[in-house]
Amino acid sequence: MNIVAVTACATGVAHTFMAKRVLEDAAAKQGYQIKVETQGATGIENELTQSEVDQADIVILAVEVGIAKRERFEKVKKVEIPISTAIKNADGLLEKIKEKLQT
């Protein structure tokens, strides 16, 4: 599975980067490709291109705040979740997404 994600918390510091790390770790463990863009106090880092978004099987928006350039995701399959869900259970989240995509 090819995944792209955006993480963004209210302060744009700790949870943004914690979510990035756990999503990357869970994807690697399950053998998936993932690229995670962070939108935090320092702005957008590791920015997703439209091509990367369009080629993804799913977009994960693990966000607590409005995000910049949201229009990139209008025409693709996506799931939007609280950032805490990604941090607490990234493995379970990816399993649920896999099940949904297979149906």
Distance from first CA to last CA of the chain, Å, rounded?
14
Integer CA distances (angstroms), 38 to 13, 14, 22, 65, 101, in order: 10, 11, 13, 12, 24
Give the homologous superfamily in CATH for domain 2-102.
Response regulator (3.40.50.2300)
Handedness of CA 57, 24, 52, 17 (dihedral sign): positive
Q: What pTM was computed for the model?
A: 0.95
- The Cα 36–Cα 55 span in angstroms is 14
* For the chain, domain boundaries: 2-102
40 beta partners:
43
So which residues are the catalytic ones?
9
Per-residue pLDDT of the chain (103 residues; tens, 9 = 90+): 999 999 999 988 899 999 999 999 999 999 999 999 999 988 999 999 999 999 999 999 999 999 999 999 999 999 999 999 999 999 999 999 999 998 7
DSSP state of 56: -
